[in-house]
Structure 1
């Protein structure tokens, strides 16, 4: 199909100012004060990336005049025809739909919906005079351009003598089923397979790509024809084959799938070059970042190693932001795959032990573009090859890399939304923590390794009870003080003060300043102790290691601020009552001999847990 089709439409409705008759051109020259809000446009497509939109704009510009491209909000790019007056827009929309030159879901839009123009480059069509129905040449006085040799143009209905209402053209005659079969027989095997691939891409064909047009292929062709308003003959005409293949090839062009060979990493693979571009080496990864805001990323994996290296990589990758938690994981003796999605991205990783190296890739793709993602993933899987024993050096790119606790070789490590402290209250690994630590979490972990479930929450007391999915055998669990603590006695809070930055709990020392809260709350103990947010939920210990209560989040009364060394704990009686209400009989102890600080620290570390909230 070429621009000659638009020539036929020229006699029914003007498409660009360059096609106006002389009188209309004069009118356009003298017109002043054209306001953007008076313009009408026809939106025919919207694409999620600039590269896709430019490709589609080129596609339509080869067939129609008046093609523009505008950003239309929400990171979408529209293919737009116009501008028109209201009457001309309605006529043009109807005419182009009837001629099957634009999608059936095309619609009229307005200037206030259009933002920055990206096509044609440098154009500012928003300030162009709109075309009117009266701008159309009169077929009785204007000579229709002669069609190119071999073209069949539709005859044009004459306009009503009393009004400038334009008749839509009749569609160009297409092949009969017999003619379509005759033209189909001229296709070689590769051309037939290409049609099956395109039908598969559109979701109509699910069988083998073999070039044989059996019953399955015929059914898929008929379904494709039905959905596009064609007679479901089960045999595509030459025009329909062109339409199917052009649509498929346009999408493939927007991906820019290209072979990529990296001698340094020892990897050969196809990459979507229109959506990603090489960024850097940071061993053991080769980074390809998003191109033109596509949201797509590719990471190649290359390092020398053995099965231990492979298994270690399997564990490490699952701690990264690019590998969402939800999704299947498969680890075999010499290979693994990890899939995940989090509502924003879909990620696929594969790696294998080959040639004395671990090699693989990760493809990260925005959610909502699954067809294109699946095509890219299929090609990457099929093309991925190790080029031998060559792999990235262990220090490749690291001299120039930014070192951070939050990054692993340039990839962001997944971090919880919040981390607080907790402690074991029985030999089964049940954990007591603050209710704040579990509020609004989609997943809760203990020491970042064990998934736990919330079995009870008491918002009034500020307590939450956690049960690990897999039974644990803690080295120590709490023994609660059965007698009243001594006022002004020394105390210590065991907690993850820095929310997991340190791999073990720390002790913060202070003293018991008051056996009630500031307003006389009998269940609270006031401590003179400079706690941090991560300490909340940790056990408050006396000098002998007995648990006097649980540290609460430091919440000052509204409109007030408290000194930094003021903290509050829920007393042991309130905590043990809560535990008993939920079927746990806590251990009790009287005040004992003072422990050596080293022994107290060891006991606290054995019972204290990092509680992490993931969202």
Structure 2
């Protein structure tokens, strides 16, 4: 097939205005491995000018033309598409979307200046047809006759026949069951694949055609470096993507494999002695880790479990089973949005998983210090934000600052009880939460009636350090004003050195009556002194709760409480409110 040579005519002189133009590339191809991307860039460079190769992130590499002023790039793209010189799905891309440059060899990232281009001229060999006439496709000569192809096909094992059906389904030409039976549906899909790839449509794949189909199917695994790895200490052998991960360390019960490329994938092998109770304990522990997002299916059977979790960053798959007094399994962690490669790698791992009698020694621990946020080298899941709240009714309803419940996929009370927002007032800055299951608070807020005295002592109860401590703390201060700085009479101004985690907590008078709810400090243009804080007043908060259908208790009496009694009241009423991704 003749190949056309594109001659891009560069301007002899670029004016300052041209330099200032918007610059763009023409993205023409992406490959899942650096070696394949370099090969494709080299091929394109034989027929096109201005060929570049860039890392795209997450293990992908792109081939692009440019850079050009945007208007020239758009005109050139239309022309190249029209001539069939680039794929139809090529598109205009911004320079800042590209990472490290790998082609031309030795080139610096975006080192070229944008080159104005004329509408490209098509130069063809003397014997070629005019460019406007598309060359007729050629049909590849078969490497075997249909009879020979059928004979070689008969030697395939059942699993090999099923693999071909899987590949045909992936290619979009087969819609039947994966059963290894080559009936009318399979034969028709083989013929369709042959037509799509320039072969005679016999409906019987030759040896070379089967190899090409499987090569296409497995191309997405290029660069993954799938190979059987035997981990003798853990007693596990399985295929791992060693092109993107490498052994890091042992930390019982895990063997850690960490990423070696910009594709942020991880593998953890699981190996420990134990029984069914140990297995069930591991099932619970794994769900507290960052690498196992809460959103996803999970299944615990008598002697095994499977956990799958996804969020905006990652998707992970964990499975473990009890085998002769040992628990063996693995976790694959993969960046979100790359499902086809993840599933293909996962299938290879699951199909190749084998075990021996060896078990990782429980004493095999990496000695690099200890932290309560780690379990065997893996981070425990932490909330995005934690603030305070307090019980306002006997059914366990809680009031808190609205800022802690915004953009949460999950809200918890005291780290374990699920809750939902049933009412909120952005202007007042408060929200009401209802637990998923009924709670029985030790104590419930009673709201002060009437105005408190200025300069009287107040106490704030809250999780000052965001849940690092297991119980709330009391911070004492004074009531400075019955309105905000701008005269808002729904607010009280306090003189108290509160912490961010205290926001949402109750403000008490010396008798234990609630004067209001502490509001978070706002990051405005004016920096207020550290002791200046604000709270909603009891009247405004009670009115909001009444409209939300929550009946609150009124405080009786004004006698002061002993500090230890106030502390006990506050501990039974104050709640840690957490927002999770």
TM-score by length of 2: 0.80
Matches within 5 A, 1:356-505: 356-388=325-357, 390-397=359-366, 399-400=367-368, 403-505=370-472
Q: Give yes or no for contact 1:66–1:81 (8 Å, CA) kept in 2.
A: no
User: Structure 1 pair 159/260, CA: closer, same or farther in 2 (3 Å)?
Assistant: closer
Q: Give yes or no for contact 2:57–2:99 (8 Å, CA) kept in 1.
A: no
The 3-state SS of whatever aligns with 2:441 is: coil
User: Structure 1 pair 233/473, CA: closer, same or farther in 2 (3 Å)?
Assistant: farther
Encode CA deviations 1:5-62: one digit per residue, 9 max, x unaligned: xxx64xx55699xxxxxxxxxxxxxx99899x9xx99976312x4xx24135448979
CA apart distance, 1:260? 1.6
Which of 99, 102, 106 is the matching residue for 1:118? 102
Q: Does 1:508 align with 2:513?
A: no
Which of 342, 349, 352 is the matching residue for 2:321? 352
Which of 37, 42, 61 is the matching residue for 1:77? 61
CA apart distance, 1:545? 2.3
User: Structure 1 pair 344/202, CA: closer, same or farther in 2 (3 Å)?
Assistant: farther
CA apart distance, 1:496? 0.7
CA apart distance, 1:205? 4.3
Partner of 2:299: 330
CA apart distance, 1:372? 2.1
The 3-state SS of whatever aligns with 1:255 is: coil
Q: Does 1:245 align with 2:226?
A: no
Q: Does 1:289 align with 2:255?
A: no
CA apart distance, 1:500? 1.4
Moved more, 239-248 or 318-327: 239-248
- Quote the Cα distance in structure 2 between the aligned partners of 1:108 and 1:587: 64
Which of 11, 22, 30 is the matching residue for 1:46? 30
CA apart distance, 1:363? 0.8
- Quote the Cα distance in structure 2 between the aligned partners of 1:184 and 1:46: 36
The 3-state SS of whatever aligns with 2:271 is: strand
Moved more, 210-219 or 296-305: 210-219
User: Structure 1 pair 232/135, CA: closer, same or farther in 2 (3 Å)?
Assistant: closer
Q: Give yes or no for contact 2:299–2:305 (8 Å, CA) kept in 1.
A: yes
- Quote the Cα distance in structure 1 between the aligned partners of 2:151 and 2:65: 38
Q: Does 1:275 align with 2:275?
A: no
- Quote the Cα distance in structure 1 between the aligned partners of 2:555 and 2:178: 75
CA apart distance, 1:473? 1.6
* Larger Rg, first or second structure (1 or 2): 1
* Matched residue count: 554
User: Structure 1 pair 541/309, CA: closer, same or farther in 2 (3 Å)?
Assistant: farther
Which of 9, 23, 36 is the matching residue for 1:55? 36
The 3-state SS of whatever aligns with 1:244 is: helix
The 3-state SS of whatever aligns with 1:313 is: helix
- Quote the Cα distance in structure 2 between the aligned partners of 1:567 and 1:32: 65
- Quote the Cα distance in structure 2 between the aligned partners of 1:433 and 1:110: 46
Which runs of 5 or more residues in structure 2 are unaligned? 68-72
Q: Give yes or no for contact 1:525–1:570 (8 Å, CA) kept in 2.
A: yes
- Quote the Cα distance in structure 2 between the aligned partners of 1:134 and 1:539: 77
Q: Does 1:216 align with 2:181?
A: no
- Quote the Cα distance in structure 1 between the aligned partners of 2:488 and 2:131: 84
Encode CA deviations 1:64-93: one digit per residue, 9 max, x unaligned: 96697611756752347999xx99999998
- Quote the Cα distance in structure 1 between the aligned partners of 2:6 and 2:43: 14
Q: Does 1:341 align with 2:310?
A: yes
Please tell me the root mean square deviation across aligned C-alpha atoms, in Å.
4.4
CA apart distance, 1:432? 0.6
Which runs of 5 or more residues in structure 1 are unaligned? 1-7, 17-30, 139-157
- Quote the Cα distance in structure 2 between the aligned partners of 1:61 and 1:207: 39
CA apart distance, 1:443? 2.4
Partner of 2:70: none
Partner of 1:554: 521
